Amino acid sequence: MEALKEKVANGQIDTVITAIPDMQGRLLGKRFHAEFFIDSAWEETHCCNYLVATDLEMYTVDGYAATSWSAGYGDYVMKPDLATLRLLPWLEGTAMVTCDLLDHHTHALVPHAPRSVLKQQINRLQEMGLESAVATELEFFVFRESFDEMRDKRYRDMTTISPYNEDYHIFQTTKEESLMRTIRNGLQGAGVGVENTKGEADPGQAEINVRYSDALEMADNHCLVKNAIKEIAFLNDRAVTFLAKWSHDAAGSSSHIHQSLVSTVGAPVFYDADAEYGMSALMRHYLAGLLKYASDNTFFLAPYVNSYKRFMAGTFAPTKAIWSLDNRTAGYRVVGDGTRNVRVECRVGGSDLNPYLAIAAQIAAGIAGIENKLELEKECKGDAYQARRAREIPSTLAQAAQALKKSNMLRDAMGSDVVDHYVHAAEWELEDFNSKVTDYEVSRGFERA
C-alpha cells in the first residue's frame, strides 16, 4: 500500500482494479480511481451477489438457494486481499487487487465463492499441520484474427497463428513470439514467476508454465494469467481461446495440476527416500484419495459440455482415472520419482476449469485419502488407453454432475450447500445446451433427414 500511495502521488498509477474470481474462474469487479482506492476502497467495496450465481453468458439462472429474483439480488462485500496487490504492466497506469467475497451483514466468507471454497480446504490442511504446493500448466490456442474479427465471422474459418504442429518447435513459435514475449514479461512484471512458454501439440497451440506456489496464490495467479493472455492478445489484434476443445480436428487444451504437500516448516512430506519411487505413505494415501474420488471431482476439472470432447484416446488427454509413473496416458501421473520433488500431476482438467474449485476438490480428495489411510492401488504400466478394466473418467457432463451430487466426501469437505450450488450450475449448463440447435445438427440433417 505504501508503494501504491507513492506511485499514485507521482502520477504513475491512476487506476486500481478490484476483482473477484467468479464461478467460471473469470475476473469480475470494478476500476477505481486510484486516489479513491487508497482513501477508502482499499477497505471494502460492494458488488451484486448474482456474480457467483450466473452461467458463462452472465445469465441470471433461477433456482440457486443463495440468491434469486425473489430475494432481490442484494450485495456482497468485496474485501481486497492486499497481499495480492500488484501492477499490471500491459495496462497503462493500472494496479490490481484480488478480493474475497463476504456476507454483507456478517462479514463472513461467502461459502460458495470460489476463493472461499479453496480457503476452506487450505484451513483443513493447516489443522493437519500441512500446506499445499501446487502448479498449474495452462494450454491455449493463438489465432491470427482479432476477437472482433472472430465474432464478426461467427467463429468460422479461423486461422491458427502457425500452420502445423509446433510442439517444442522454436522456429514455429518465433511466429508468435511478439505476443508471447509480451505475455511473459507482462506477467513477470505483475509478480507472477513465469518459467517458460512453449509450442504445444497442434498448430497455434501454446503452453505457459509459472512457478509453483501455495494453493491460494497459485489459483490467484492462474486466473490472472488467463485474463492477462486475453487482454494482451486483444491489445495486439490477436485472439486466443481457452476452450477445452475448439475444433474436433485439433487437440484439446488442458490445465494439468501438479500437487504435493509440505509441513508447516516447508519439509516435503510426499518424499521418503527408503520407499518405492520415493513415495511416502502419506503421498500414497493422498493419491489413493484422488483416485477413489476421481469421478466426484470431475465436474470441477471439466465444467462444460464441451469439456468432455477433449477426453479422447491417443491425444494426450486421459480417459482413465488411474495412476502411473511418468506416463502421459494416465489420468494421474507421478513425476519426480526418487527425489524431494516427487509429486502427483492430475492430467484430467481442461483449460476451461476454475482453478480455485479444481484445486480445492483435489485437496479434499487427498485429505480423505490421508484421514482414511486408503491403500493405493497397483500402478498402471503401458498404454492406459488400452486398460480395459480401468476406472473411467466420466465421459459426459451429465455423468459428472450425478457423481458430484452423490458425493458424500465433497459434502463433508465443502458443505452440502456449496455442493448443491455447483450441482445446480452443472444441471443448468446441461439444460441450456440441450435446448439449443447446433450447427452440426443443421449441416448434417437439413437435407438428409
Tell me: do 106 and 130 sit in the same domain: no
In a domain, 449, yes or no: no
CATH classification at residue 56: 3.10.20.70
Tell me: do 139 and 69 sit in the same domain: no
Tell me: do 76 and 158 sit in the same domain: no
Tell me: do 72 and 191 sit in the same domain: no
Report DSSP letters for 355-397, one per residue.
HHHHHHHHHHHHHHHHHTTPPPPPPP-S-GGG-TTSPBPP-SH
Mean pLDDT of 33-56: 96
Which cell goes with 33?
Answer: 480511481
List, in order, residues 6 or more apart from 200 with CB less than 8 Å away.
139, 166, 167, 206, 207, 251, 253
The per-residue pLDDT for range 303-319, each reduced to its tens digit, is 999 999 999 988 889 99
List, in order, residues 6 or more apart from 90 with CB less than 8 Å away.
182, 186, 228, 231, 232, 235
Axis-axis angle for helices 215-235, 355-371 (nearest 10):
160
The per-residue pLDDT for range 317-355, each reduced to its tens digit, is 999 999 999 999 999 999 999 999 999 999 999 999 999
Pairing of strands 343-346, 86-87: unpaired
Q: Which domain holds residue 16?
A: 2-110
Tell me the β-bridge partners of 99.
80
- pLDDT category at 70 given cuts 50, 70, 90 is confident
- Which stretches of 166-214 are DSSP H helices? 170-174, 177-189
Mean pLDDT of 13-24: 98
Count: domains in the chain:
2
Which cell goes with 223?
Answer: 486466473
Tell me: do 177 and 215 sit in the same domain: yes
Look at residue 194 in the predicted model and tell me its pLDDT.
Answer: 97
The rounded mean pLDDT for the chain is 96
**Final residue before a domain boundary, out of 69, 84, 110:** 110
CATH classification at residue 315: 3.30.590.10
Tell me: do 12 and 133 sit in the same domain: no
Residue 144, class by beta-carbon neighbours within 10 Å (0-12 exposed, 13-18 middle, 19+ buried)? middle
In a domain, 59, yes or no: yes
Q: Are 75 and 51 in contact (CB under 8 A)?
A: no
Which cell goes with 258?
Answer: 501438479
pLDDT over 90 (residue 8):
yes
The per-residue pLDDT for range 359-396, each reduced to its tens digit, is 999 999 999 999 999 999 999 999 989 988 899 999 99
The per-residue pLDDT for range 254-278, each reduced to its tens digit, is 999 999 999 999 999 999 999 999 9
Tell me: do 348 and 324 sit in the same domain: yes
pLDDT over 90 (residue 245):
yes
pLDDT over 90 (residue 429):
yes
Tell me: do 240 and 302 sit in the same domain: yes
Tell me: do 209 and 135 sit in the same domain: yes
Tell me: do 242 and 378 sit in the same domain: yes
